[in-house]
A and B are shown apart, each in its own frame.
Chain A
């Protein structure tokens, strides 16, 4: 089981309670689709993804970015049992969505960079380490039910 110190819990809680999901969610997914274009393979129904401009202004991408970011809420509420909490979502991503789990890390790296850009120097090395630990645990849990 993953251990969280009081400090780490407080850091994660603070990041998310001050997060503008409607801003950060879209920015993270947009960045992922631009920086790692092969991830666009999962969004063929989203319409125009032909270039960075199209991706950045695509309303379906924006809506989905918000949805995905809110997906992290369950980890926030169940930090001591993230693996079990994401079992259902893991099955969904494996059996229905057929997402290569390597992609989860790509999105989480983009999210880290977007949050860094938003928080600026407040995104200290310690806060970055805790945030990435949190994301790594979620990413691992999402890949757990693949077989």
Chain B
């Protein structure tokens, strides 16, 4: 399920709009993930506040979405481009890869809310493929 040129164009076009409100999208997506999939809270037991909209959530959400922006810029070689981030996730964070899907879903819910006309089924499939490819790139170094 590799990204076609059409997929890449759709992702870049969508991200051009999303990146303008990136800080909010990241925090919103992370907050929703922690609420909708409570098992994901296990990775953040060291945070004082895990409620949607709280400071640690918004700050961390911004960080994560920054990573996605980096991935968009490296869309032609995600596996190679994400090696450093993969090492971080593999050896330090050790996030079970199943969690990437849950965050991806919540990111898409937020994008659907903020950009209902742009997040058409065709854009959705391209973006879903892209996030799956990012997840794969992030898990590259796991084993």
Contacts and interface: CB of A to CB of B under 8 A. Distances in A.
Interface of A: 30-31, 34-35, 52, 55-56, 109, 112-114, 116-121, 123, 125-126, 128-129, 132
A28 B31 CA distance: 24
B108 A113 contact: yes
Interface of B: 28, 31-32, 35-36, 52, 105-106, 108-109, 112-113, 116, 119, 121-122, 124-125, 128
Chain A interface SS verdict (over half): helix
A120 B31 CA distance: 16
B13 to A, nearest CB: 16
Name which of A52, A109, A117, A118 has the most chain B CB atoms within 10 A of its CB: A117
Contacts of B105: 109, 112
21 contacts: A31-B121, A34-B121, A34-B124, A35-B124, A35-B125, A52-B121, A112-B105, A113-B119, A114-B112, A117-B112, A117-B113, A117-B119, A118-B116, A119-B113, A120-B113, A120-B116, A123-B113, A125-B28, A125-B31, A128-B106, A128-B109
A34 B129 CA distance: 12
B121 A125 contact: no
A11 to B, nearest CB: 13
B116 A117 contact: yes
Contacts of A120: 113, 116
A117 B120 CA distance: 10
Contact of A113 (B35, B52, B124): B124
B36 A132 contact: yes
Name which of A34, A123, A128 has the most chain B CB atoms within 10 A of its CB: A128
Nearest to B125: A35
Given A113-B109, A116-B113, A120-B113, A125 B32 contact: yes
